[in-house]
Structure 1
Amino acid sequence: MMPSRQDPPALLAARITATPDAPALAAEDGVLTWAQLGERVHRWRALLADAGVSSGDAVALMLGNRREAVEALLACLHSGVTVVPVNWHLTAPEVAYLLADAGARLLAVDPPRAEVGAKAAAEAGTVRAVVTGDQAAYGLAPVEPLLAAADPRTAPADQECGQLMIYTSGTTGRPKGVLNGLFVTGAPFARATRLLEYATGTLGVPTDGRVLLVGPWYHSAQLFYALLPLLNGATLVVRERFDPAATLATMAAERITECHLVPTQFVRLLRLDPAVRAAFSPASLRRIWHGGGACPPDVKRRMIEWWGPVLVEYYAATEGGVVTLIDSADWLAHPGSVGRAVPPNRIVVVDDDGRELGPHQRGRIFIRRPGRGFHYHNAAGKTRAAYLAPGVFTYGEVGHLDEDGYLYLTGRAQNMVVSGGVNVYPAEVEQVLVRHPDVRDAVVLGLPDEEYGERVAAVVEWEPDGGRPPWSALDAHCRRHLAGFKVPRSWRSVDAVPREPTGKVRLDQLRTLCGDDRWER
């Protein structure tokens, strides 16, 4: 039980008091009760304080889907600390940029990421790094001895709400930290309670049951559809990675009631042997949230036929959270839609001059939400560009509304590539490609992909006097500087990239040049 001299973590207190011995967190290395989770959170809070982290500081977490990620996240949210989830596929220079931009005081990594984390912390300069487990690695101190030595009764007595800063790609090609206001440093914990009440009543976040986290927690959707149910009282079941057959087995064995998935995972589930699919009973499932990219209508129909009307699709982004919802019945009546706006949001579709358009007229999609928006860390210009007016902002998509207010997405204003639910900003990849000595110019775009929704593709203009190395050489060049999911999977050569005199790419001409099937892999 929790030592009596320390109040339980505020956001967990109700469950710790009511059901201290009930399961709260079920990871692959064991189960924590609510009381045990509360004690671990306080030990992490003491560790943060001993490391010199205080209210207003930032802590970066480059941790896989494991219990330490949840423990450290909750500790920060009770210590006035800004949590920076780090994509564990990034290279050391990419992580170092995030650490420096966020001003992180501490980086926590797990053993598979220890080498990258150590290099990134050294490159960033002023960041202390630790590694989970009980063994030092690459000069990083192990966490478990530090937690064992930390007395949870000596964690700072005054708990303070922290916040999340999640990095997403920006118009410069560099990731930008998003502060979306869901949690606010120093705000009363009652504000978070109101957020949970909204999530329960409007978004269907459960107050009981068993919620499965099987996608990378550093993605905003995976994070919030795991964290909010946990704070609401549901048991969170955590698995390190998605495997279609293993996920079905986990859903059955753990009696999963809710889970967040992306369309790519639906495709992989549907490709399982028919006997494996037939053996799975979806009886325990109450809700499967999905988003993170367009879902092919035939894929969604097959999933509904298999699992029943439990799929709930949303339109959302890291910047401002969920804007629309559509359940299975409504989607079958409005196939292809991502739903209608949920309060307090209102969808506004405008033309290039900012004038509101009527039903079935395609334009830029804006969200009107008075009283709460978002801003990008260290990027005031990018923040301004996202707003049409105070309380009216965009996620960058284009599309239209029908006469009943259902939203249909048809593209992205900034040509972001969404591959397997992961955002890839073309400019970042282009900047790496043109660093190759034989590449004169390059453009990166998204191509339709049955499994991933979109795949990253590169169009290359070679230096006239240079060589033309094999695509494998450019692949290797990219992998030295970029995470694997950003590396192009399809390639094309052109004599010249079509550009305006201003340097802007003529995407219409480019797609005409590359409009056949002669892409190379």
Structure 2
Amino acid sequence: MFLSKLDSKHTVSRVPTPPAAAYVRMCLRIRADTEGRETGQRCHCHAGTGGQSSGGEHVNAPSGATGSPVGRRAITTCSGGELRRRGPGFVRPRGEGWSAEDRVALIGDLTVDGLGALLAIRERGLCPVPIEPSFTLEEMAFAINDSQARQVLIDPSRMSYVDQLRPLTPYVEGWTELSSGPAPALQEDFARPGLPCGTLHYSAAQTGRPVGYVVPDAQFEDAGRRDLDALLDDRSIRADDRILLATSLSDPAAVQLAVAAYEANAQLVLAGGAPVADLIAAISAHRPNLVHLSPASALALVKAVDAGAAPEWTPRLVLITAPWCPPSVTRGLVEVWGPVVRIVYLGPGVGAIAAIEGVDVLLYPGSVGVPLDDLDAPRIRIVADGSGSGLIEAEHPLGSGRWVSWGDRGIISRGRLTVVDQHHAGVGGERRARMPQAVEGALVAHPWVADAALVAGRDGDHGRTMVYVQATPEADLARLEAVLLETLNDSLPIGWVPERIAIVPALPRTGSGKLDRRRLLSLDPFEGRDAV
């Protein structure tokens, strides 16, 4: 295999960073290319369909691409024990060494060839960088350059893009077709390979949609396995499971499922890039209990169902993992299969929670969710990131810029989020510095509050927090504390809501008019309340 040629004794060779001027020119090209397009002409996150629409036409081909549309791809069926590792035979450049930090970009759908290459690269200690195959040429080039990949493995149906990508990626040393026939089977005692569930990078926000790639990292592997367990409700993959995957190599959750199926010797149906007619036939024929779709393959499926071509099987669980998915797709899948669909938004960006009853929504670390339409009461689970720190900022219309903690459970009803179960009350990272301003700002915005200040409890930083409030003349003092606590619970993370609110006649000020926090701490809140 090609990986046998990569000797660990070679010296480390670093990839030079593109010059700043070239980097800026590339960003400007991307921006100029995307600003002239209308939103309706772009289809977000067409992961794993190879750009095929329900009617077979080519959708969202890289701008400037030549050659025929992405061709038809045969659906591959195999058991985990039969999974073949494919050797995409690129040769190490002469005179250059490799290190464990070297990165190999992969552009393609989730097929046996692609999955085998990814696992082989990772097992050899190199760093695979799966890149979304539906990106435009400029977006692909940006991800390749920004990830500093030295070699690129590209799907055979997209080899026509190589000549146009070469001028945009001057530091790539080799381009190889992502297929070279079967290779020896994986050994049964083969250790679990590292999963591509590393840091998700978004590096070109100016393009108007996420441009991302995954850089695997060993420290993320355990967290990735926990995330997979959360997807499956802590139910392990078994040998009698049948799993159909219709997405791309750049979807780490799909690759995790594929590896888990391999470990359990479950049946895998790899339908990445398959036409929608073949996808429907595969679902009907193989009767999978779990189906994993890209947003584009889900959209094609919904359109096909509208045209009268529905699959003759209902899976136990349907997953979509993507930074963005049209709510119409979610509603269409619910109409096709009922409340079996679980939408998973992976990574930061423009993700929108489709507020649909019966749809379980999982927000992954960094996700920002916004409910759409006026449909009632979906169930929301925010998966913990493993460290117990960090928050997800849920924007309007969740209500007052509501921030929720990892692992909290809540219900969206009429556009507002109500937390019903607290996972933990941690406040971590840079958000902690924003806590006093957020609490005080939420209180001062209330018509009954003239001034407010938050201080740490008297037991030190790990004690209880307290807010001192100066009421307005029209405030109902008997109800003030309860009303303010309700306001804070509706608008702040659970870990930020103070346990006590003390009402004082006035907040002490220094000679310059600034708040005198030292004098404030010396106040007895009960004396202050009595004085009021």
Give the structure-1-normalised TM-score.
0.48
Give the greater-gyration-radius structure (CA). 2
Structure in which a larger fraction of residues adopt strand: 1
Give the structure-2-normalised TM-score.
0.47
